[in-house]
Structure 1
Amino acid sequence: MHTWQMQTAKARFSEVVKQAADDGPQEITVHGRSVAVVISKELFDRLSGNEASLVDFMRRSPLFGDEDIAFERDRSLAREVDL
């Protein structure tokens, strides 16, 4: 992981982002202390589980394909209405 001082990272931000995409995470420091890491969108999606679409998520559900699911609708009024 390459380390950048904050001032340098600010001045060369596009390079920091490009290196994050090409070479992996880029560490940002202030007064020698690590304060942030810049990562690629691809790595972020993989780490956060955002790779799959909502459709893929629903298909992985244990209820997928179950035809016996019945959803009952509450037919009560949502609020009282004065007439």
Structure 2
Amino acid sequence: MCLAVPGEILNIEGADPLMRQGRVAFGGIVKRVNLAYVPEARAGDYVLVHAGFAIAVIDEEEALRTLECLAAVDTRGDST
């Protein structure tokens, strides 16, 4: 099963369409993400990220709703 996680693009580096990267925030964690598949993405946009690649630009409401669902199934706590 594959899972894509939404994050917000903080900034973008690089002009080469295949090597363009963004710093993307995922609820307090920031990662570098390849933006080759979303050439229309801009800083401030929310993207779905899978395996280090942004695969789609999504609206903020959808991103926040998805993050809420992921938080609801957080398994780090005690399950007993």
| Interval containing the TM-score (normalised by the shorter chain) | under 0.3
TM-score where L is the length of structure 2: 0.23
TM-score where L is the length of structure 1: 0.22
Higher strand share: 2
